[in-house]
Every structure is written in structure tokens, then in C-alpha cells.
Structure 1
Amino acid sequence: MHIAPLWLLVALQATVSAASMVVEIVAGRMLAPYVGMSLYTWTSVIAVVLAGFSAGHWWGGRLADRPGTNPMAATGWALAAAALTTALAGFALRAAAGPVLTALPQPVWGITALTFAAFFLPSLFAGIPAPLLTQVSLSGPSRQGQALGAMFASGAIGAILGTLLAGFVFISWLGSLWTLATVTGVYIGGAALCFVLAKRLAKLQAATLLGLAVLAIATSLSPGPCKIESRYFCLQSVDISADPAHTTRAMVIDHMVHGISAEDAPDVMFTDHAAMLDALARLRAPTANPSSFLIGGGNYALPRAFAFRGRTDITVAEIDPAVTLLAASDFWFDPTTTQVLDMDARRALLINDTRYDIIVGDAFTDTAVPQHLVTLEFFQLIKARLSPEGSYLMNVIDYADRMKAVGSLVATLREVFPVVEVWSEARRPAQGERVVMVIAAGVAETAANSFVVPAPDRTTFAALGPAFVDQIAAAGLRLTDDYAPIDRLVGPRD
């Protein structure tokens, strides 16, 4: 005798599948404040979640074959466990982050272990219902092939729906913690339905589900690491003032500082990369009031400094409007001084044929420049959008004893620009140190081979020797839209 109609089993399986995929997407967002949003983060999330699903399917199959098992009651308890572990995922992540990342400083292992600590169990318990519900569907009056096909299809359709809801609705409108609370509520509702169908909704089950609902609300109200959670990033504004009379703040995007500004020093850069970009933009400017296009806004320290010095033609392509709003509210950026485009920089340059004297590349996902902004095709687009005497300045991070990323960028840029320079702080880096550099590309060399600017202390920066640049470029890869492994070239270290 069948326990439930096929349509209800199909709907339940689709709902569980959708909820589990929402958790997978949220996992990447929740990990970002601790380990960044990189290729390694998403690889770990997908691998851990799939491992959880696989273990859950195996466990559910064992339960389905166990004599005396009520499959709907077992599904109810599995969903209750999924609700519990989902509600606690945020707590597990915060508790595990410090110990795991300290014990496993190597990024790949650290990210994988942290993902496992927070998101393996929710995936495992969400994987248990599929074989149990399939067993029930096969016991009904429908043809077994039809029932089996419907259950497989419902899992796939639910996964698609969950992915779309997570990316386009839940995270954007609810944030990570409330999204997890919503998924917890879905699991609680599914568990209650299963207990009713199994005729097992007694006081114990009801009390368990009520307790899980209270826990879901409590966890959603707990403070998270983000001041602002946008469609793209976890954003924070951190006061780092040494003197309360001179306010200084850092903008943290995901887990990295992307800019520092002081209220009363609009023309002083507080990071090496910003100091080099600012100085080189002045040294290489072909006119007294050059037009500039900035790829990525960050805390808008550069456009703020440009405007302070009287520049009137400033354009910034910042894909995340929340970053611009935070720069205006917390970092003294005046939006009326700059044309801000809320779109990807490559698209912005592609659809508009305006030419600029200076184009500045300062966009990062974790420690690497986004892949589509490091290719030959993109650099050709940059060249087409520069004035005849214009320059392209690009911020890049690499390891001093490896230089694979910088070498590949130089090699690729040299196919487009006759002059390519690499700048860094004028000192010998420590063995294995991660170094911030700026690449300058154009038709002429910079007028000086070194300069001293406040960063915020007075710091000397210099161009690397041509012979050394030739050496690292010779070992570099040609980066194209078809092949640009910038994440691997930058790191992590072995």
C-alpha cells in the first residue's frame, strides 16, 4: 500500500534538492570573509557538498533496505537533522575558522577543511531522503519506470530552482544568515509533512521541530562578519585611526583590505599599490588634466585624490553599487566628481569607444585579478581605448621568488604595448614574500626610474631592471580568453 501520491513525493524531493543547493551557494558567500572568493573556495564548496550528498545517498539507501524502517519517518528525521546542521552552519564556521586556518595555513587544505567543518553535515542529511522517497514512489500504483524518472527529474529541477533562487533572490534580499534560516524552515516543514504521512507526528517530533524553528530564528539574528552584504561581496568599514582627531578607515571586501583613506588627507595613499598607481598616473599623464578610467573602485581613494587635485574627467567602473555607496558614506568620496558605471569594466570599455589618457586596473577577486581582465584580448581592448600617448597601469600581486603571474602579464602585454615596466618598493623582498607590484604599459618609458611618495610614510618605489623583466617574461605564459590560469599562477604556494 502506497503512503503518498507520486506528485507529493516528487514535490518533496524537488523542494529538498532546491534547499540543499541554496545552502551550497550560500556556503561560498559565507566562506568569503574568512578565505576570500576564489577558484579554490568554489572548488572546495562543490567537492565537499557533493561528498555530503554522496554519503547521504548511501546512508539513505541502507535505511531503505533495513527491515522495519518506515521510510517517511526516516525521511522526517533526516530532514530534522538537516535543519539542525543548517541552522548551526554559521556558528560552526565561526568556531572552526581560527583553529582550522591556523593549523592548516596552506590555502587549499585550509579552505577545504573549513568548508567540511561547516557544510558537510547539512549536505549529508539533505542527501538521505532521495533513496527513501524513491523507494516509496516505487511502491505506489504508478509504473515503476515513470516513478523513477519523475523522482530523478524532480531532483534535477529542484537543484536548478535552488541555484536560481539563491543567486537572484535569497542572498540579494535576505543575506546569508536569513537565507540559512529560510532553508531551515523549509526542512522543518518537510520533516513535519513526512511525520504526518508516516503517522508519527507525536509530541517528541513536534517539540523537536518547534525547537529547530526557534534555533533558526536565533541564528539568523546573530551578528555576522559583514557590515553590508551585497550581491557580490561582504563589505566592512573598519576604523583604524591612530589619532581620534584624524579619522582613518579601511575598506574590507570579503577578507582583504581594498583601500585605506584618511578624512583630512585626500591626496595621501595608505597602501603601496595605491601610492604607485597614483604617482605613475601623474608621471605618465600626457596632459595637465588627463582623462582617466579606473577598473574597480575599492574605497575610491584614487578618484578622490584625482578630484582633489583638480582633475575633472574621471570614470570608474565598479560592478558593485554597494561598494560605491560605502565609499561615499564612510570614505569621504564625493560621487558628483566622478562618473560611476555600475558594470563590469570590460563590458563598459566594450560598449563605449571613449578614449582615455590613463586607464588603471585595480580589480581583484581574492589575491588575483579576474581572469577576463588579464588576457591578450582585453589588453587589445585597453589599447583601443587609450589616447595615442596614453598609459595602462595595473596592480598585481605575486611571490618574489616565483613571479609567474607578473611574467605572464608582461609577456602578454608586450604583444600589445611597445613599453612594459614593472614597479615595486625599492627594497630586496624576503624569501617567499608576497609582493605588491604595478605594471605600466604604453608607448614611452616613465620619465623617472624611481620616486618617493607617502604611503603613508615616505617610501621609495622603483622600476625593476629591464634584464630581470626580460627574464621573468621569457618564462611567462601567453594569457588569452581561452587560457588564463591566473589563480594558479598567483598561488597558493606549494
Structure 2
Amino acid sequence: MSQKPSKSTAPEAENAAATRGTRLFLGLSCFLAGAAMMIIEICAYRLLAPFFGNSVYTWTALIGVILIAFSAGGYLGGHLADRKMALDLLGWLLSGSAVLTFFIPALHTVFAAGLSAQGLIAGPVIISLLLFAVPGILLGAVSPAAVRFYSLTLKDTHVGAAAGTISMLGSLGSFVGTFLSGFFLLSTFGVRSIFFGTAALLLVLAVAAFLLAKNTLRQQAPVILSGLFAFFMSWMTAPKPKPGVIFEHESFYHHIEVSERTDGDVTRRVLQLDSTMEGGMDAKTGDLILPYQQYWKLALLREPAKVGSALFIGAGAFGMPENVSREFPEAAVDVVEIDPQVIEVGRKFFKLDEHPRVKAHAGDARRYLLQSGGKKWDMIFGDAYNGIRQIPPHLATQEFYQQIADHLEPKGVFIMNIIAAITGPKAELTSGMLATVRKVFPHVEVFAVGYRRDETQNVILMASREDLKPLIQDRYVQQGSWQESLIKTHVPKGTVPHASYVFTDDHNPVDAIIARGLLE
């Protein structure tokens, strides 16, 4: 005899399917919330860098604020889940973070420029609190709330398994968000678009939570309308292009901007990376237009006055390497530039393709030198420093300058451009760099491109194994010549304050020194 199926079988199967669906949604929510938080954090760095620099202080402020926000969110999510045991709690947390993420680009446009005057430490901390603290708290509250709801689907018999599953999925989401933003999103989309896309994803998750909680469309309408309003307001507050800007692009490393203006017969075309003018040229002739760019010619003070090979660390606007190539058509000129997009900009706007002897290499300078084997150059020019706000610390150490020395010809010279002062409180960077370079090169001379030596300006260091004094002080130069214009900016020995420390790979306080200089 066959038994009749129990009347409760169908409802039990339906409940089991609904429970599995709830668990799947909870896991997916934690995974995507973790991914969203890391996408916001990494892309936030590119949002802040144009105003606060690419320094360790920007990263420290950003990471610190988000960690505090996540901690507060964890506490909040646990308490809210005990008070409101319904899935629409996740809907409110996700929708709130979505709306605030939509607003991040707008708030950045309104406040970043003003807060940049607060310095390298206070500025990034304040802007991070303003933009990312509350979205971070709400996203941080998702996981503990989800643990509670996941445990309820197991009738609170496997609380440990629920916590472990949710924690695992949240961590995996953070991993995916980190790799996705670093290796794909930032190189493919603009930063504003990434924030909008992340916010839209969170809003879709919020709507799904409300549907699972059986909220009506009327109950969801305020959330959806709030998200649309936030998107519209943020879209309308997009920063307007500056006058004269002919190209803008967000790369993984920089906000790249090319601008142009006409001064008489000269069409000044300049390259700006984040907040710093990196170089320029006359768009018609390719002639150099910035005073510090002339200082590559210090290499011509020696005899014979010729450059057979040159390496430029940092492309700028390719004006100097192209100038070398014009002066010495047979010279082999290499340029190593960390950002491939800067090289593309050089091809499009700064005549790079017109100089086949100038070879541009995308990559880090130290890695490039390591892979170059025994190749040596007559001149190496270091210009990889991002204005007054940031110096890549690994390019400002005794070990790096030893690499430079190892790749110079015996009579070769190393010329370096930094942004600092010669005397006074803002001279700490110059004195530290000078002490570090002197650990490797026995002869180092200093040139100040500006007028007042206690003010921030282009400072040029020229280093060699040979005595440079005869090239600068003990020779006759024609009045009005380029030699005279460079030599007269020479800074006598003993003018720069003595530094008691040397920058090394192990200990390099260059970021702290820059921060102190900006406070001055």
C-alpha cells in the first residue's frame, strides 16, 4: 500500500526554499558590501590625491578613518539586529550607504579645495571623515546584522557556523573589490563613474532586501527616489573644466591634465599631474618654457660639451629629453615613467613621436635600473617628484642613489630637481637630500632656481665623481650666455643647513619632512 503524501510537505519545501534564498542573499550582501567598501577606499585615494598628494599621510588618514568607521559599524549592526529582526534592516543599511556613496563626488567637489589648505595631515583626515565615515559605518553594520539573520535561518543552532560563513564571504568580497579596483576599474573608468556604479549596486541590493522582507513598492519608493536624487545632485556638481584645458584623464596613478594658453608668439602647453605642473613646452616649436628645464644643460659644462646618452627619471612633458635629442641627434635618450598614460599623452600632445631616438619606458625607476643590466649613461636627470606634496620615498634613499652611480659613465653627472627651500625652516628637505646624495657622490653642487632662498622653489642638485668646482667657479663664461644664467644661481657651500641624518630604505622620514615644510 502506498502512503499519501503529508499535507505539510509542500509548505515545508516552500519554507526550505525561502530559507535557502535568504541565506544566499545574506551571503551575497556581505560579499558585495565588502567589495564595495574596498572599491570606495582605493578609489577614494585617487579622489584625494589631486588636493592632498600621493603621500603616506593620505593613505594613513583614509585607511584609519575607514577602519574606525568599520569598527563603529560592527558595533551598530549587532545592536540593531537584536532590536529589529527583519531583513528590511539590511535594506535600510544598504540604501543609506548607497545614497551617501552617490554624494561622495559632489561633497568632494565642494569641500576638497578648501580643506587642502589644512595641510598634509589634518586635511586628509577631515575630508575622509566627511566623505567616508558614515558610508563606512553603514557598510560595516551589514555583516553583524547578516550574522544574526543567518543564524535565525538555522534556528540559532549553528551561531559559530553563521559567523564564520558571513565573515568568510565579507573577506572574500574585500579581496575581490581590492583586486577589481586596482587591476581593472581604475584603468578603465573614471573615479566618479566608479563611485556611481558602486552606489547603484548597493541600491539594487537594498531593493532586494526590501522585497525579501515583503515591503511594498510604496514603502520602497522613498529609498529609490533618494538614490536617484543623490545621483542627480552629484552629477550636476561635476567640476567644470578649467580655462585652457584641452585634455583630462584619470589614470591609475594620476589625474592628468593638459592645458594651453598663448603668450604673444609662444603657445604654452603644460602637463599637470594631480595638483602639480610637471613640465611644458611651446606647442609650436617644442622649445622649453619652464626655467628649471634648462638645467639639464649643466651636463654640458664639462669637456667635451656633449651628451652621448641620457636617462630621464620621470617624463614631465618630455621637453627635456626631446631638447637633448635635438641638440645631439645621435644621442640615445631613455625616459622611464611610472604612468603609461603619461607616455600616451606625450605622444599625442608633446611631440614624443617626432623624436625616434627618445625611448619611453613605462615602469618604476628602481625596477628599470635593476633590469637594465650594465647599461650606463653620460647623464641621468631625476625629475620623478610630484611637486611640493610628495616624493616617492624609494626614490630618495642612499640605496637608490647608489644605483644611479652604478649606471653612470665614469665622467657622468647626476642632476636632480626637488621642490624645497635653500635656507630657513623649509630647507629641511634640501639638507636631507643633499646629505644623502653626498653619501654616494663625493662632489655635489646646489642651484636655486627661485629668488628668495627661504621660499619653496625648484632646487637643482648636480652630483659627480669628479670635482665640479672648476666647471662652475673657476671658469670664464660669456655674459648673457646660458652658462652664465645657470652658474649665477649656484649656491655656495655651507649655505644649506647641515642634516644629521641620511635617507635609507630602512629609515626614510621624507613624508614627515614634507608635512613639516607645508605647515611652515
- Please state if 1:464 is matched with 2:464: no
Determine the C-alpha separation between the residues in 1 that align with 2:236 and 2:357: 38
CA positional deviation for 1:201:
4.1
- Please state if 1:307 is matched with 2:325: yes
Determine the C-alpha separation between the residues in 1 that align with 2:399 and 2:59: 26
Percent identity, aligned pairs only, is 27
- Unmatched segments (≥5 aa) in structure 2: 1-14, 242-246
Determine the C-alpha separation between the residues in 1 that align with 2:409 and 2:45: 40
CA positional deviation for 1:459:
7.5
Secondary structure of the corresponding residue to residue 356 of structure 2 = helix
CA positional deviation for 1:338:
0.4
1:397 matched residue in structure 2:
419
CA positional deviation for 1:202:
2.4
1:49 matched residue in structure 2:
66
Determine the C-alpha separation between the residues in 1 that align with 2:64 and 2:359: 42
8 A Cα contact 1:14 1:159, kept in partner: yes
CA positional deviation for 1:73:
0.7
CA positional deviation for 1:359:
0.4
Secondary structure of the corresponding residue to residue 468 of structure 1 = coil
Secondary structure of the corresponding residue to residue 42 of structure 1 = helix
1:491 matched residue in structure 2:
515
Determine the C-alpha separation between the residues in 1 that align with 2:116 and 2:110: 11
Determine the C-alpha separation between the residues in 2 that align with 1:481 and 1:274: 29
8 A Cα contact 1:181 1:217, kept in partner: no
8 A Cα contact 2:337 2:360, kept in partner: yes
Residue identity opposite 2:144 in structure 1: P
Residue identity opposite 1:65 in structure 2: D
8 A Cα contact 2:103 2:233, kept in partner: no
- Please state if 1:384 is matched with 2:401: no
8 A Cα contact 2:306 2:328, kept in partner: no
- Please state if 1:173 is matched with 2:188: yes
Task: From the superposition, tell whether residues 429 and 201 of structure 1 become closer, same or farther in structure 2 (CA, over 3 Å).
Answer: farther
Secondary structure of the corresponding residue to residue 241 of structure 1 = strand
How do 1:473-492 and structure 2 match up within 5 A?
A: 475-492=499-516
1:416 matched residue in structure 2:
440
Residue identity opposite 1:60 in structure 2: G
8 A Cα contact 2:414 2:463, kept in partner: yes
- CA deviation map 1:42-88 (0-9, x unaligned): 1121122223223322332332232xx24411110111111111111
8 A Cα contact 2:70 2:136, kept in partner: yes
- Please state if 1:375 is matched with 2:397: yes
CA positional deviation for 1:437:
0.6
8 A Cα contact 1:292 1:356, kept in partner: yes
Secondary structure of the corresponding residue to residue 446 of structure 2 = strand
Secondary structure of the corresponding residue to residue 277 of structure 2 = strand
8 A Cα contact 2:449 2:460, kept in partner: no
- Please state if 1:336 is matched with 2:356: yes
Determine the C-alpha separation between the residues in 1 that align with 2:516 and 2:280: 25
Secondary structure of the corresponding residue to residue 199 of structure 2 = helix
CA positional deviation for 1:166:
0.8
Structure of higher CA gyration radius: 2
8 A Cα contact 2:106 2:235, kept in partner: no
Secondary structure of the corresponding residue to residue 252 of structure 1 = strand
Match of 2:262 among 231, 241, 244: 241
- Unmatched segments (≥5 aa) in structure 1: none
CA RMSD across the alignment: 2.7
1:24 matched residue in structure 2:
41
Larger displacement relative to structure 2 (30-39 or 51-60): 51-60
8 A Cα contact 1:404 1:476, kept in partner: no
Secondary structure of the corresponding residue to residue 467 of structure 1 = coil
Residue identity opposite 1:200 in structure 2: N
Task: From the superposition, tell whether residues 468 and 82 of structure 1 become closer, same or farther in structure 2 (CA, over 3 Å).
Answer: same
Determine the C-alpha separation between the residues in 2 that align with 1:351 and 1:382: 13
Match of 1:182 among 167, 178, 197: 197
2:26 matched residue in structure 1:
9
Residue identity opposite 2:311 in structure 1: F
8 A Cα contact 1:426 1:460, kept in partner: no
User: Number of matched residues?
Assistant: 480
8 A Cα contact 2:270 2:280, kept in partner: yes
CA positional deviation for 1:114:
2.0
Determine the C-alpha separation between the residues in 1 that align with 2:274 and 2:303: 33
